[in-house]
Amino acid sequence: MRPVADPVVTGTGVALPGARCAADLLALTYGSARPVPEPWPSRDRDTRFKDRATRLALMAGEAALTAAGLLDAGGPTVPGEEVGVIVSSNLGTLDTVCRVTETLDRDGPAALRVVNLPNACSNATASSVAIRFALHGINLTLCNGATSGLDALGWAALALATARARRLLVIGVEPAGPAARHCAGASGTLDGAAALVLESADAAAGRGRATLTGYARRTNADAAIAAAAAAAGPAGRATGCGLWLPPQEGAIGVGAVCHPDTPEDRAARAARAPRPGFDPGRRDRDTEGDSHHPDGIGYATVCDLGRALPPASGAFGVLQCVAATAWITAGTPAGVPPTALAVAGGGRADDAAAALLLSAAHHAGAPDEGEE
């Protein structure tokens, strides 16, 4: 197959208490969330019948499309046929489904509102985003547990590589409605969204802020990191990543509330994480053949969103990539590579782990030699 240049992130957006923009994610510390303006998320005439997840997704999506230059005051700047939508959310429809069932039991069918019909289906958010911004490309909703956000980015990259779309709006969202809060218990749950626009290098025409170089989903974090690095080809063989974005523990919607990770799980995971203390000299050791192994990866700095945010479930991976893009865009000190490694899942209650690699956009365009 003809090598396809890696896709690039051209815009990001967030709808999150405590973060006005992607760069704020890097500075977040737990409990620092600023007071939320009421009502949150915002509601207007166009969104009065939309569920909470959809309203959050529209906020983040609009910001990302605008930042990418695909949307301005006059509307879309590119044909809607070129743009697809991928939404990652594990709990998005839960409130509608539970509330409708409860109303039916308590008050009978006459109390139901027909406007909730589309919201009772898992794709309500993705289709509403497409309708709002007139996006006719592929329209996917991924509900894939703790890895769902990174998986959504992986599918976006595949859709661009196979020319299913030229541009994709990827949104990770989890709403803290009554049913989600009830299930989450004391650990709480995210009430926000993050979005980014991923475009083929060709479509981005120099607007790229970061390049998605590799993604994989495997049985554990080690295997996922190794497979993502292998998929990234030469770019993934660099022995260090500048930014390490570790998985979040105890995200709800994946059974982790019932089966919290044990201290042993956490210790094992910490042992598997890349080592701190990035050493640029390690690049010289490429010839030793250990460069694919995650143990061979050091990092310069860490962005632990999992500690900074409530359990973010399906939104987590997209939040990680939005933060990583902001970090890469801001520029890195001399000797620190402008690369980021994000991992999600891999906990005892998860079915798998996913890993994703981002690098500075000027690395784009290198033929992928790792693939035939």
Per-residue binding string, another protein, 238-277, x by CB under 8 A, is --------------xxxxxxx-------------------
State yes or no: residue 200 binds another protein (CB under 8 A): no
Please tell me what DSSP assigns to residue 246.
P
Residues 277-336 touching another protein, rule: CB under 8 A, are 314
Cβ 58 to another protein shortest distance, Å: 14
Evaluate whether 242 touches 338 at the Cβ level (below 8 Å).
yes
Evaluate whether 204 touches 340 at the Cβ level (below 8 Å).
no
Pairing of strands 210-218, 339-345: unpaired
Q: What is the rounded CA–CA span in Å between residue 56 and residue 310?
A: 16
State yes or no: residue 12 binds another protein (CB under 8 A): no
State yes or no: residue 355 binds another protein (CB under 8 A): no
Which helix H or strand E contains 47, and what residues bound it?
none
Cβ 202 to another protein shortest distance, Å: 14
Chain Cα centroid distance, residue 71 = 21
Q: Which two tokens stand for residue 268?
A: 């094992």
Which of 28/199 has CB closer to another protein? Answer: 199
Pairing of strands 83-88, 139-142: parallel
Q: What is the rounded CA–CA span in Å between residue 287 and residue 295?
A: 16
State yes or no: residue 93 binds another protein (CB under 8 A): yes
Which one of residues 33, 183, 230, 268 is an interface residue with another protein (CB under 8 A)? 183
Which one of residues 40, 47, 69, 80 is an interface residue with another protein (CB under 8 A)? 80
Cβ 348 to another protein shortest distance, Å: 11
Which of 69/255 has CB closer to another protein? Answer: 255
Please tell me what DSSP assigns to residue 16.
B
Cβ 154 to another protein shortest distance, Å: 9
Which helix H or strand E contains 300, and what residues bound it?
strand 298-302
Residues 99-138 touching another protein, rule: CB under 8 A, are 100-102, 104-105, 108-109, 112, 114, 116-118, 120-124, 126-128, 130-131, 133-138
Evaluate whether 257 touches 184 at the Cβ level (below 8 Å).
yes
Residues 143-162 touching another protein, rule: CB under 8 A, are 143-145, 148, 151, 155, 158-159, 161-162
